[in-house]
């Protein structure tokens, strides 16, 4: 495997540790040191958004059904997500990034890639910049970040995860340095290797990244496909040519989950979509953004992917509207063919600042009422947090098709 020309260190991956839980602990210090779960309560059919490290010790993790988390850790304290507050803290963290570079690619509220190549002469090495960013995030926001520094995005992401929490890892440039870090790791650490792929690779005798990196490329391609083999072989050698994609507003705001087991129940999928839509809508409102479209993403157990998209007549930031469209696409535009679903997600697309929206001469009064209700819910959650309002309960008892004509996908 030929390696690309060695590049100097310039890529950082910054990941805020137990972010939602950390914000709750900042705002409510009495939660410190206790098993804390942020997410839908067990009686609301919700899922875990984040768990504190004290709760993770009992096996609780993000995207786990809340009922299961409650069985694993019955003594846990629960708080409902407050997306507007998390978005506020995320903006504070971004302000720290912007002191050092404008090349910022947010992946979510709590993690981002940074390219500091243009800042080295001003601030020093990438390692120095990474340490300063880590220190200033803690000083200015009270949040702890794990930081990885490397020559590309994949290696930086791996580095930030190696010594969590409160980690700081530098992978020096060069093939041998990448090999020293990657080869002992489980093959599941490669992007694109989920539980099913991991099982297939294990069945081939591939357990560590070193096993994959030293496998014959033709042999591997015959067993997992040429494209997958090439992708994984490149990553196994620490090769990643993708650049940090900075820009103004994000192209989409989404939420997805890879299930521990394939899901066959449509009701279970819809419950996931309900939670996703609620979170995405709250993130849109917190950021002052509305969307004109929504995309549904489905990956089956055999790794086949499908996506379906819909557009709205009017921009929206309502989780209910997103959910209605996503559910309709799931029911009518996805051919399951008896296969289970491995990954499910939605994304709000065609984003624009809410302030840029031109008021319609024919505004739908019901939509206006829903917007006011959503804003009230955000305020209640920000103030009271734990179980203040559960989105699923708001929709219980409503008609099967909750979207207005202007909400429905084209």
Catalytic residues: 111
DSSP states of 148-196:
EEESSHHHHHHHHHHT-SS-EEE--SSHHHHHHHHTTSBGGGSTT--HH
How deeply is 332 buried, as exposed, middle or buried, from its count of CB atoms within 10 A (0-12, 13-18, 19+)?
A: exposed
Crossing angle of helices 226-236/217-224, nearest 10°? 130
Q: Which residues contact 21 (CB under 8 A, 6 or more apart)?
A: 36, 37, 38, 50, 51, 52, 55
- Look at the block and give the residue holding tokens 């734990």: 386
Max CA pair span of the chain? 65
**Is residue 211 classed as helix, strand or coil in its secondary structure?**
helix
Rounded Cα distance, 209 and 227, in Å: 18
Tokens of 274: 């309900």
Quickly list H helices, 175-334. Answer: 175-182, 195-203, 209-213, 217-224, 226-236, 266-287, 319-332
Rounded Cα distance, 409 and 407, in Å: 7
33: how many CB neighbours lie within 10 A of its CB? 11
Give the residue from 322, 314, 323, 327 showing the smallest Cα distance to 365.
314
Is the separation of the CB atoms in 244 and 104 below 8 Å?
yes
Is the separation of the CB atoms in 159 and 148 below 8 Å?
yes
Rounded Cα distance, 320 and 285, in Å: 13
Give the residue from 320, 6, 56, 12 showing the smallest Cα distance to 173.
6
φ, ψ at 16 (rounded to 5°): -75, 125
Rounded Cα distance, 67 and 120, in Å: 49
Tokens of 256: 């997805």
């Amino acid at each position: 495997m030929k390696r690309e020309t060695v590049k100097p260190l310039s890529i950082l991956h910054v990941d805020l540790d137990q972010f939602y839980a950390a914000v709750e602990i900042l705002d409510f210090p009495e939660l410190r040191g206790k098993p804390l779960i942020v997410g839908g309560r067990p009686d609301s059919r919700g899922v875990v958004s984040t768990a504190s490290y004290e709760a993770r010790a009992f096996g609780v993790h993000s995207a786990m059904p809340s009922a299961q988390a409650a069985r694993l850790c019955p003594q846990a304290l629960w708080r409902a997500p407050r997306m507007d507050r998390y978005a506020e803290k995320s903006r504070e963290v971004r302000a720290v990034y912007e002191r050092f570079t404008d090349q910022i690619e947010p992946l979510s509220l709590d993690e981002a890639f940074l390219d500091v190549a243009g800042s080295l002469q001003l601030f020093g090495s990438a390692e120095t910049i990474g340490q300063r960013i880590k220190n200033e995030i803690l000083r200015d926001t009270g949040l702890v970040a794990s930081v990885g520094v490397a020559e590309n995005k994949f290696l930086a992401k791996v580095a930030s995860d190696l010594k969590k929490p409160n980690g700081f890892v530098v992978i020096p440039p060069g093939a041998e340095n990448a090999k020293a870090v990657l080869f002992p790791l489980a093959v599941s650490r490669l992007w694109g290797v989920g539980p099913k792929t991991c099982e297939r690779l294990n069945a081939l005798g591939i357990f560590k990244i070193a096993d994959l990196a030293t496998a014959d490329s033709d042999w591997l391609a015959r067993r997992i496909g040429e494209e997958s083999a090439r992708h994984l072989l490149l990553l196994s050698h620490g090769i990643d040519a993708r650049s940090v994609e900075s820009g103004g507003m994000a192209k989409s705001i989404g939420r997805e989950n890879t299930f521990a087991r394939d899901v066959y129940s449509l009701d279970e999928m819809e419950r996931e979509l309900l939670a996703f839509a609620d979170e995405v809508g709250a993130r849109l409102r917190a950021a002052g953004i509305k969307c004109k479209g929504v995309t549904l993403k489905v990956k089956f157990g055999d790794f086949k992917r499908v996506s379906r998209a819909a557009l709205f007549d009017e921009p929206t930031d309502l989780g209910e509207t997103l959910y209605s469209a996503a559910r309709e696409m799931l029911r009518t535009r996805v051919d399951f063919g008896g296969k289970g679903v491995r990954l499910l997600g939605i994304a709000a697309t065609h984003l624009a600042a809410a302030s840029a929206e031109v008021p319609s001469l024919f505004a739908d009064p019901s939509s206006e009422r829903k917007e006011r209700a959503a804003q009230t819910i955000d305020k209640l959650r920000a103030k009271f947090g734990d179980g203040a309002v559960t989105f699923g309960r708001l929709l219980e008892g409503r008609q099967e098709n909750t979207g207005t004509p202007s909400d429905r996908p084209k």
